[in-house]
Structure 1
Amino acid sequence: MIFVLAAVAVVVLVRWVAGRTGLPAAALLPLIGIAYAVLPGPNLGLDPEIILTFIIPPLLYSAALDSSLMAIRRNLRIVVSLSVLLVLMTALVIGVGFHWFVAGATLAAGIAVGAAIAPPDPVAALGVGRKVGLPPRLLTIIQGEGLLNDATALTILSVAVAAAVGDGFSWGSAVSQFVMAAAGGVLVGVAVAWLVRLLRKLRDDPLTANAISLATPFGAYLLAEEIHVSGVLAVVVAGLIIGHHAPGGSGASRLQTTAVWRLVEFLLEGFVFLLIGQQLPRVVSGLQQYAISTIVAAVAISVGVVLLLRPLWLLLTQSLPRSLHTRLIRDDNDTEREPTRGLAGREVVALSWAGTRGVISLAAIFALPLTTDSGAPFPDRDLLLFCTFVVVLVTLVGQGLTFAPLVRMLGLRANVSDQARLRNEARSASVAAALERLDELAEAGDEDELRAIEATRAQLVARQARYQGRIDLLRDADATELPVSPRYEAALRVRRAAIDAQREEVLRWRDAGQLPDEGLRVLQRELDHEEGLLPAR
């Protein structure tokens, strides 16, 4: 319990430091874990079964809920290229490299470590990218890759481990096992999402909605694993579908569920990044049996392939014929092929440096069995552990700390004015729809309803005028900066001041004994929701 409380304190402190310095917490936490690991005292070991069953599913599910299914579909070719083909190529190249250049290493063992270190963990890159204003398309690609590549890697790993502990590697068996695991994972994810949608009536209650939401990733993962298909892919597919349909649910349930998942994600991510650093003694302890040249060769192949193959792959895929950079567009009458914009040189560089590895790589490699079917030790297990740890450390700390300066140097910035204009246009359209609905209600309304309609109409008309003024201001604004409107800013200051005064007054009522605490909490919740509608300071 003391260790958990200390870990939470460190995670909170590091988040505060990261907010003040701009450094990514995902890169700072492993360094703190390493510093603690070298001190005398107990360390917390990484149990791969716990990580893969209780940590990875909720993290992937939370990320999937926060993703855009439609944006991923628009960039599906490059997402699949990075999350499936590049992961497969990375595992194979590292496997061949180990087989050729690392003394005594087998192809299956090399592919196993290649599969473990192939999938990037996008947490650090996404955190930095959002902070420095990376364009939405690049954020979507990074996020989509991170959602799908874990399933590819873990499936390849299971095939490689089966070959290493059994009679050898069979390409036919490997391909069929991969296809079955992936297809089965997708089907399980769709089935779980369909089942959760059947429970949408129950999800109108916020507490019930939270309980169902928290149980969903574990249910999807365990069901898929029970029938020997990809549990990770099942979780991701379920999260993407449920997140896509979430806007149609209860507003109160959606607000509370979002807050719960943000807390879960914050604590779990912080804990696992601390845990990564603490594995150093355990990883280093088994290296005495290897020659220095063997260790250097294995690490050089692992780190070199991870850092070099990604930019080469991106350059290769972007140089393919233009006809391959298309997607199918279906409407009621016809099916067309729409060309999609390729990646510019600066975007390729940014994506090349966004390949930070994380806890799933360590969990995967620690899950390697200790012995083969014949009772012999798993080939080069300790060396594979060390190579994975070095790759995670190099990418997570090295790339994580330098990603923000690289993005700034490249000048990659989202068009924030265009995004804000689009949001305000959508707001204006929603108000127009509300005014049309009021006109319909007014046709059959009684006197009391007509008074309410007119009062509501006045509020909506004022709001629409405010949105239209913001749209006009944004139309001619600089792409990288939001324009400041003195009138708009003054209105926000006045509204915040009014809310603060209301809070102070209801607190005085409670302190004077005129308002019970239950009533105070109701009024505070109303004011909190009103304040939540205002833009961030």
Structure 2
Amino acid sequence: MDYFVIISILVFISAIFGYINVRFLHLPNTIGLMLITIVFTLAVFAISYFDDTLLNAERYIISQIDFKTVLLDIMLSFLLFAGALHTNFQQLRIQRWPILVFSTLGVLVSTFLVGIITYYMLQLLGLPVNFIYCLLFGALISPTDPIAVLGILKQAGAPKKLETKIVGESLFNDGVGVVVFLVIFQIASAGADAITPLEILELFGVEVIGGIVLGLLLGWITYRLMKSIDDYDIEVIITLATVMIGTVIAQKLHLSAPLAMVTAGLMVGNDTVRNSAMSATTETYVDKFWELLDILLNTLLFVLIGMEMLVLTFDTTYLLAGVLAIPIVLACRYISLLLPIKFFEKKLDFVPKTNLIMTWGGLRGGISIALALGLTEDMNRDLFLVITYVVVVFSIIVQGLTVEKLVKKVAV
């Protein structure tokens, strides 16, 4: 079975499940697709007791897809560019300082809090795991997933200034979170004595600052090219080329491709560039193209998340650890946001219960699962993959379905 056949099957499944969701369930697409896929996979498990043809086919598809590479190295750049392109730049500029603190200091504080508490929780369950591996889990689960957050918040009717904080934080903390994970992963692989604090700082600085600088350069080049012509077909292709070649350059130079794409998307999507470089027709086509691509990739992503159940090790203790990790992750996110929100809330007129909404609305998604899949067996991969999957499923289904009610109840 070649890759074209596998992609065709995934698109077909996505179309059928998407139809079922829109026609009967009426859930947000991200939630509905993942839920239907999980139910479908469980049904395939049940049928396999009588005939394992479907189960073997589904396992084969998953075995042929490197989820970590597909999401982090390919899909993520397109999804982040699309998300940044449609973000309210004016509101983002006003909220830039809290977003910066949330996506850097917030991620670091949450990483260490989750890592420390998870370490002791696992000891109590009789799972002696090295502390550095618990920190890795803290790093992969702390960033909120912009892919999950964007679609659900649009339907929740959150106030614009609150939506900007959550979406803006998600767009940037994703890139920062991946870099933090890679730094801790390198320490865990090489040993704490084999890497110096200066090397850690250099790795972090090159990835983050280099990614942002590359994004600014790509955004400026894209703007100049689009301003010099008026042809919506070619201008759409230019934005697509920006993402594709920009991702390749970032990967070759070991810079943060997610941060580069967020920065480029914000530059191309801001009102100044739109008004001076795009005609009304071009703007419509650019927006519609990236909206469609965003929907297609989101659809495929959440179907794949549901199918990733097949790679889990179903151990009762692992599942219990996953359930216990849910309140730990939520509590640590709440604490990590507490001081920054207290500092900025009076200056920027935050909506009531901002911390509560940002905690509950900060969904985890495919990025966390992709990073967990990147762990080695020595790093307790099976354990942390199960814990991550439980947290992500709870986050998207339970938090995703209730965040709208929470927003309407407290953000008044």
TM range (shorter): 0.7 to 0.9
Deviation by residue 1:263-287 (Cα, 9 ceiling, x = unmatched): 10111111101111111121226x5
Aligned to 1:109: 133
**Which position in structure 2 is the counterpart of 1:367?**
374
Q: Say if 2:301 is the partner of 1:277.
A: no
Distance across 2 between alignment mates of 1:179 and 1:268: 30
- For residues 209 and 9 of structure 1, the distance between their equivalents in structure 2, rounded to whole angstroms, comes to 29
Alignment partners' CA distance in 2, 1:29 and 1:166: 39
Q: Does 1:84 align with 2:104?
A: yes
CA contact (8 A) 1:65 1:239 kept: yes
1:34 maps to 2:38: yes
Report Cα offsets for 1:274-303 as digits up to 9, x if no partner. Answer: 111111121226x5xxxx55663x425632
Q: 1:218 aligns with which of 244, 262, 269?
A: 244
Amino acid in the other structure paired with 2:204: F
Deviation at 1:243, TM superposition (A): 1.1
Q: Does 1:74 align with 2:97?
A: no
Letter in 1 for 2:383: L
CA 1:35–1:192: 2 relative to 1, 3 Å: same
Counterpart CA distance in 1 for 2:104 and 2:148 is 21
Match of 1:406 in 2: 406
Question: Please, which moves more after superposition, 402-411 or 62-71?
Answer: 402-411
**Matched-pair contact (CA < 8 Å) for 2:156–2:403:** no
**Alpha carbons 1:94, 1:301 under 8 Å: kept:** no
Q: What corresponds to 1:4 in structure 2?
A: 10
Is 1:180 paired with 2:206?
Answer: yes
* Counterpart position of 1:57: 77
In 2: Cα distance, 1:124 partner to 1:164 partner: 29
Are 2:173 and 1:145 equivalent residues in the alignment?
A: no
- Say which SS state the counterpart of residue 38 (structure 2) adopts: helix
- Which amino acid is 1:107 matched to? F
C-alpha separation in 2, matches of 1:293 and 1:283: 13
Aligned to 1:247: 275
Query: 1: distance between equivalents of 2:368 and 2:357?
Result: 22
In structure 2, distance between residues paired with 1:119 and 1:14: 31
**Aligned mates of 1:138, 1:14 — CA distance in 2:** 32
Note the C-alpha offset of 1:101.
4.0
Q: Which amino acid aligns with 1:79?
A: I
C-alpha deviations, 1:326-348, integer Å up to 9, x for none?
8xxxxxxxxxxxx3224423x33
Q: Is the 8 A contact 1:24 1:124 kept in 2?
A: no
Distance in 2, matches of 1:8 and 1:100, equals 40
Question: How many pairs were matched up?
Answer: 381
CA distance 1:278–1:74, change in 2 (3 Å): same
CA offsets 1:32-51 (integer angstroms, 9 cap, x no match): 11122230432232521121
Alignment of 1:275-424 (within 5 A): 275-284=304-313, 287=315, 292-293=316-317, 296=320, 298-299=321-322, 302-320=325-343, 339-345=347-353, 347-368=354-375, 370=376, 377-410=377-410, 412=412
Alpha-carbon distance between aligned partners in 2 of 1:385 and 1:203, rounded to the nearest angstrom: 49
Matched letter for residue 359 of structure 1: G
Name stretches of at least 5 consecutive residues in structure 1 with no aligned partner: 327-338, 371-376, 413-537
Q: Partner amino acid for 2:231?
A: D
Q: Aligned partner of 1:7: which letter?
A: I
Bigger RCO (CA 8 Å, 6+ sep): 2
* Equivalent-residue separation in structure 2 for 1:174 and 1:99 (angstroms): 23
| TM superposition shift of 1:351 | 2.0
SS of corresponding position for 1:204 = coil
TM-aligned CA deviation for residue 13 of structure 1: 1.1
- Post-superposition Cα deviations, 1:112-136, rounded to whole Å, max 9, x if no partner, equal 2221111112444443433342211
Q: Once the 2 structures are TM-superposed, how far is the Cα of residue 74 of structure 1 from its aligned partner?
A: 0.8
* Largest Rg, 1 or 2: 1
Return the alpha-carbon distance in structure 1 between the equivalents of residues 141 and 161 of structure 2: 25
Tell me if structure 1 keeps the 8 A contact 2:79–2:147: no
Q: What letter matches 1:246 in structure 2?
A: R
**Quick one: distance in 2 between partners of 1:97 and 1:226?**
37
Identity %: 27
Name the amino acid aligned to 1:279: E
Q: Distance in 2 between matches of 1:110 and 1:206?
A: 49
Taking only aligned residues, the RMSD between alpha carbons, in angstroms, comes to 2.4
Aligned counterparts, 1:467-486, within 5 A? none
The corresponding residue for 2:285 is: 256
TM-score, with length taken from structure 1: 0.66
CA distance in 2, matches of 1:410, 1:215: 43
Distance 1:155 1:123, change over 3 A: closer
Cα gap change, 1:403 to 1:17, in 2 (>3 Å):
farther
Match of 2:50 in 1: none
SS at match of 1:319: helix
Contact 2:175 2:256 (8 Å CA) reproduced: yes
Using the alignment, how far apart are the partners of 1:252 and 1:33 within structure 2? 38
Structure holding more helix per residue: 2
Amino acid at match of 1:31: L
TM-score normalized by the length of structure 2: 0.85
Cα distance change of structure 1 residues 4 and 379 upon mapping to structure 2, 3 Å threshold? closer
The one-letter amino acid of 1:383's match is L
Q: Partners of 2:293 and 2:17 in 1: how far apart?
A: 13
Distance 1:97 1:174, change over 3 A: farther
Question: Counterpart of 1:238?
Answer: 264
Q: Supply the AA of the counterpart residue of 1:243.
A: G
2:244 and 2:184 map into 1 onto residues whose CA distance is 26
Q: Sort the Cα spacing of 1:128 and 1:232 in 2 relative to 1 into closer, same or farther, 3 A.
A: closer
Question: Is the contact made by 1:87 and 1:153 (CA closer than 8 Å) also made in structure 2?
Answer: yes
1:83-135 alpha-carbon deviations (Å, 9 max, x no partner): 22221122212222344443332232112222111111244444343334221
The partner residue of 1:189 within 215, 232, 252 is 215
